[in-house]
Amino acid sequence: MLDIKFVCDNPELVKENIRKKFKDAKLPLVDEAVELYTRKCAANTRANELRANRNKISKEIGMLMGKGLRDEAEEKKKLVGEQAKELATLETEETEIEARLKEVMMKIPNIIDDSVPIGKDDSENVEVQCFGEKTVVDFEIPYHTDIMAKFNGIDKEAAGRVAGEGFYYLMGDIARLHSAVTAYARDFMIDKGFTYCIPPFMIRSNVVTGVMSFEEMDAMMYKIEGEDLYLIGTSEHSMIGKYIDTITDEKTLPHTLTSYSPCFRKEKGAHGIEERGIYRIHQFEKQEMIVICKPEESMEWFHKMWSYSVELFRSMDIPVRTLECCSGDLADLKVKSYDVEAWSPKQGKYFEVCSCSNLGDAQARRLGIRVKGADGKKYLAHTLNNTVVAPPRMLIAFLENNLEVRDGKFVVRIPKALQPYMGGKTEIVEK
């Protein structure tokens, strides 16, 4: 969310930013925000005048009563009564304006970084760099759930009976591999100096609206019936929420945290091969990283964070590339974002496995995350987040890129980095 004073001082700049994001339907929001803020200021000024006048007249009434000038005092009381009605009307108006202004401001997109490429949608994202040679094999790679089935590692049919579509049971070595990847990712981030955390898996509505847009909230979040609680769609939300309404000493920054959690999402696509199986599901597990830092350090941390994802995937022999999200593909709160995509030899293309985002001070403004500088002045922190690994997608990339056929059986190689988490196993063999 932008600063309303910034919007009022720079309405054309804010509108141009909206055009860059190809969201022209939001252009009227800028003028509405300016008009609402002008009305709010006028109402606030008049209300303050009436309050000051009430105090002044109250003293005059006391003096008149002390002098026995009862009739004059009664006239003053009538004036106070009339002004009290006007003040009550103004206070109601202020409340209504404030509510609408907040609603409007939360829909105006954040200002994107100058380096972001301009484009309408994800088809115009820009490749930044590729890492590793694309895996090429001389056999047909099965669909990822079929690979898992070769190792007795998945049961979607039973999960369908228990919970419906979008769920699955992982079994045996595949389940162990899932846990091994998560544990390795945790330790990888700890070795990078991040503090490990297991957060609450539910958050209140004020945290939800603080960390994401209304559109994302409606599309993603599961609401707990009868309570002001939502299941988290990613632990980033809970982790950023940890700092709600806090003032952090600048000397302690940056705060770097890595968190594990299950994640719950309503959406489930069906738009091509990568959307089937376990690519998009209602429940999955994830290792996340977040950073709370000073504004001048946020871009440096942005580049560090996405490089960690690349390093992690390459340590497991998975070719990846980095895409920069164009303006039209950026969520409203984001200043800049990279997607890390893994190579799928089955599909012959890359698919998203990590998303690294710099949100500037947007979340901090919504949640009241402030920093106290050395000079005693307070300012808003910058927040960043990035996926370390989300094992369902990670498993797809891992299995396809480490798959072999040996003596007529499928074998999955276990890279050296993962072997300690797999009990020393160097491979798993088809059952």
Q: What is the pLDDT of residue 276?
A: 64
* Mean pLDDT, the chain, integer: 92
Burial 311-328, CB ≥16 within 10 A → b, else e:
ebbeebbbbbbbbbbbbb
Q: What is the pLDDT, as a whole number, of residue 267?
A: 67
At 49, the pLDDT band (50, 70, 90 cuts) reads confident
Q: Which residues span the domain enclosing 91?
A: 4-105
As for how many domains the chain has, the answer is: 2
> 35 phi and psi, to 5 degrees?
-65, -40
The two structure tokens encoding residue 320: 């990846």
Of 105, 138, 159, the residue at which a domain comes to its end is 105
Burial letters for 348-379: b for 16+ Cβ neighbours within 10 Å, e otherwise? eebbbbbbbbbbbbbbbbbbebbbeeeeeeee
Structural domain contains residue 110:
no
Residues 31 and 82 in one domain: yes
Instruction: Report whether 429 contacts 173 (CB < 8 A).
Output: no
Sole residue written with tokens 């000493």: 249
Same domain for 177 and 68? Answer: no
Give yes or no: residues 51 and 191 share one domain.
Answer: no
Does residue 101 register a pLDDT over 70? yes
Is 113 inside a domain boundary?
A: no
pLDDT-derived band at 137, boundaries 50, 70, 90: very high
**pLDDT given for residue 275 in this prediction:** 53
In terms of domains, do 63 and 210 share one? no
Percentage of the chain surpassing pLDDT 90? 80
* Domain match, 317 and 413 both: yes
Residue 121 has pLDDT above 80, yes or no: yes
In a domain, 251, yes or no: yes
Q: How many of the other CB atoms lie within 10 Å of CB of 44?
A: 16
pLDDT for the residue 273 = 45
**Domain-located, residue 115:** no
Residue 242: pLDDT over 80 = yes
State which of 76, 105, 134 marks the end of a domain: 105
Q: Which pLDDT score is estimated for 65?
A: 74
127 lies in the same domain as 8: no
Confidence of residue 51 (pLDDT cuts 50, 70, 90): confident
Is residue 82 located within the same domain as residue 139?
Answer: no
Q: Based on the domain organization, do 65 and 139 belong to the same domain?
A: no
Q: What is the mean pLDDT of residues 161-189?
A: 95
Helix (H) or strand (E) holding 418: none
In a shared domain, residues 153 and 76: no
103: Cβ contacts below 8 Å, ≥ 6 apart? none
Is residue 189 located within the same domain as residue 329? yes
Domain assignment present for 276: yes
The reply to whether 84 and 135 lie within a common domain is no
The answer to whether position 114 is within a domain reads no
Helix (H, G, I), strand (E, B) or coil at 258: strand
pLDDT digits (tens, 9 = 90+) for 198-222: 999 999 999 999 998 777 777 788 9
What is the Cα–Cα distance from 204 to 211, expressed in whole angstroms?
11
Backbone angles phi, psi at 355, to 5 degrees: -135, 120
Instruction: Evaluate whether residue 153 is within a structural domain.
Output: yes
Question: Domain with 18 in it: what CATH number?
Answer: 1.10.287.40
CATH code at position 362: 3.30.930.10
Q: Comparing 144-148, 279-283, 424-428, which segment has the lowest mean pLDDT?
A: 279-283
Whether residue 134 is found in the same domain as residue 86: no
Average pLDDT estimate for 105-113 = 96
Q: Is the pLDDT of residue 73 over 80?
A: no
Give per-residue pLDDT as tens, 262-307: 999 986 444 444 556 787 889 999 999 999 999 999 999 999 999 9
Reference 108, options 179, 178, 34, 180; nearest CA is: 34
- Is residue 185 within 8 A of residue 312, CB to CB? The reply is yes
pLDDT of 75: 75
Give domain status of residue 117, yes or no.
no
Q: How confident is the model at residue 156 (pLDDT cuts 50, 70, 90)?
A: very high
Instruction: For residue 252, give both structure tokens.
Output: 């302690």
Task: Output the pLDDT for position 430.
Answer: 93
